[in-house]
Structure 1
Amino acid sequence: MLTEVRDTRLYVDQRGRSDAPPLLFVHGGPGAGSYDFMRFQGDRLARDFHLIGVDQRGVQRSDPLTGPVSEQDLIADYEALREQLGIEQWSLLGHSYGGRVALRYAAAHPSSVSRAVFENPAWDMVLATDTLLHAALPLLPGAELPPHTGPATKQMWDERIALLAQLGDRRMEIYLGPDSRDLQLPADTELPAECHQRSGTFSAEITKSASFGETVLQQFAQLTQPALLIKGEYDPATSPREIELFRSDVPNGTYYYATGAGHFVHAEQPDLFARLLTGFLS
């Protein structure tokens, strides 16, 4: 349902008992929305949690953007929503780009977050797109990684995403494990074009914000909550350097390597994923 939060309306999908431990899903993309995750995990996780999936401002079923957006806006939205729902503390689950937003949120509002789970996160946008393109280049004969130094920029993002787009229908091959190559993401065919247009607008706006270029890796040391990193064997997003820093710098961090899975462990190995979360968060 659409819920008024700050100066907009967000689409909020709540599943499970209201008195169960609350769990917020922070989607990636940028602009991917919560539709796919809730299709694969909503009913599973609702058995044990009060699961809350939110389309970030301007994304999918939320109201369209009317101006610029930053990662600080997303964090402020989540914190305002927590207060509106009367939740004292909740756990966070950030997927892909959402892992970056979840890390920012947990570091900025430690008293609001009890635990944090990161599924194939893209914490550093330069490292993550490096890793993505190294996975893609074998499918693009003659293509080269666009050079880049310094923090992430919109130009860097646009150049690298344009190169990924050359994969066309083969793009999902780099995201999925070999046993999941027939996986379809429901939002691609089940949501109307208007929802995808909103997500595209969001992505264009967030990637040109100053917040997008900032590194967040130094915030690992501020992550005082117990944290779980789930990394798929064939995931092309989370770089070895990010994994190394998580394992060395997060005070209460746990690392799980999902053999056989790719970027969407929650969809490729849904029962395993639900058990992992239930075991860690309960």
Structure 2
Amino acid sequence: MPTPVKSAFSVEGEGEPIFLIHGIGASRASFAGLVPHLKNEYRVISYDLRGHGASPRPQPPYTLDDLVEDLEALRKELGIEKAHFAGHSLGGMIGPAYALKYPQHVLTLGLYSTAAFRTEDDSAKVKGVVAAMRTKGIPQVLETLKDRWFTPEFGQRRPDVIERRMQQVIDTDPDVFLSVFDIYAETEMAPWLHEVKHPSLVLTGENDGGCNPRLNKLIAEALPNSELVILPVLRHAILLEASDQVAPPVLDFLRRHRGR
């Protein structure tokens, strides 16, 4: 059994609890735009993954099971019996993996901008990004990721947000960043997603290159109790670019599955 870390976290609001799980080289601040929409009706718990933000930084490599056990430790620490769990990108893999291992603690799942059912070509592309970062350095490859994460219009309108996100990646310990990118690149949920029975919201951006509608349709089809929402125009960074567009389908889904 992995040794869990004591994650840094924030709690806002009252109501049914929802855990928000961020992605690679990010932090709980990823959800700063979404939390205000949720906290009037829900107890919103956002936290930093190990090696990220203010959480402890044990020596990598990390595994998906490490991240699942960190989340379970946080649930126990807060004394929460059942909660909603929603994650973005890598977080959208941690949530379902948690639900598979600890189904008794899960009310619903949110899989935002995540990937499964990758073809050989899909897998080669994402592993190629990780390999390029190892060879050339993370900052040198970031420009490619920026174009995958944000729409050009947002880039012109809010270069400050993009610059902050790029700096956040650069400031992440490179061994940590590459280790969690490995988890994201190598995790394939296809063999077991059908075992996750909880109501699930599958949500992605129309123009997300790596976590595109093609893959998300397959995710939604595999989950026995799911709904699919594709947000027009958006790419990968839906929470940073358009929390106001993410919030309505998220709230609608959560309200319809309240108190299960």
Q: TM-score, normalised to structure 1's length? A: 0.75
Aligned to 1:95: 88
Conserved 8 A contact 1:99-1:123 = no
Cα deviations across residues 242-280 of structure 1 (Å, max 9, x unaligned)? Answer: 224223221111011101222122232222211211110
Cα deviations across residues 3-55 of structure 1 (Å, max 9, x unaligned)? Answer: xxx653321111112xx1111111111x32222x2322222221221111111
Aligned AA for 2:179? E
Is it true that 1:262 corresponds to 2:226 in the alignment? no
Aligned to 2:251: 278
| Alpha-carbon shift at residue 240 of structure 1 (Å) | 5.1
Is it true that 1:231 corresponds to 2:223 in the alignment? no
Relative to structure 1, is the Cα distance of residues 220 and 168 closer, same or farther in structure 2, using a 3 angstrom cutoff?
A: closer
Relative to structure 1, is the Cα distance of residues 129 and 278 closer, same or farther in structure 2, using a 3 angstrom cutoff?
A: farther
Aligned AA for 1:197? T
Aligned to 1:137: none
Relative to structure 1, is the Cα distance of residues 114 and 202 closer, same or farther in structure 2, using a 3 angstrom cutoff?
A: same
The CA distance in 1 between the partners of 2:148 and 2:168, in whole Å, is 24
Aligned to 1:42: 35
The CA distance in 2 between the partners of 1:66 and 1:168, in whole Å, is 24
Aligned to 1:9: 6
Matched ranges for 1:69-148 at <5 A: 69-123=62-116, 127=119, 130=122
Matched ranges for 1:95-244 at <5 A: 95-123=88-116, 127=119, 130=122, 156=128, 158-161=130-133, 169=143, 171-181=145-155, 182-183=157-158, 184-185=161-162, 187-188=164-165, 196-198=171-173, 200-206=174-180, 213-239=186-212, 241-244=214-217
Structure 1 spans left out of the alignment, 5+ residues? 1-5, 132-146
Aligned AA for 2:66? D
The CA distance in 2 between the partners of 1:128 and 1:105, in whole Å, is 26
Aligned to 1:33: 27
- Which of 17, 20, 28 aligns to 1:22? It is 17
Percent identity, aligned pairs only, is: 21
| Alpha-carbon shift at residue 215 of structure 1 (Å) | 2.2
Conserved 8 A contact 2:9-2:28 = no
Cα deviations across residues 124-178 of structure 1 (Å, max 9, x unaligned)? Answer: 6x659838xxxxxxxxxxxxxxx68xxx87xx55325468965654642232234
Secondary structure of the structure 2 residue equivalent to 1:14: strand
- What's the RMSD between the two structures over aligned residues? 3.2
Aligned to 1:134: none
How many residues are paired up?
A: 249
Aligned to 1:143: none
Conserved 8 A contact 1:26-1:102 = yes
Relative to structure 1, is the Cα distance of residues 278 and 208 closer, same or farther in structure 2, using a 3 angstrom cutoff?
A: closer
Conserved 8 A contact 1:127-1:239 = no
The CA distance in 2 between the partners of 1:242 and 1:157, in whole Å, is 19
Relative to structure 1, is the Cα distance of residues 220 and 269 closer, same or farther in structure 2, using a 3 angstrom cutoff?
A: same
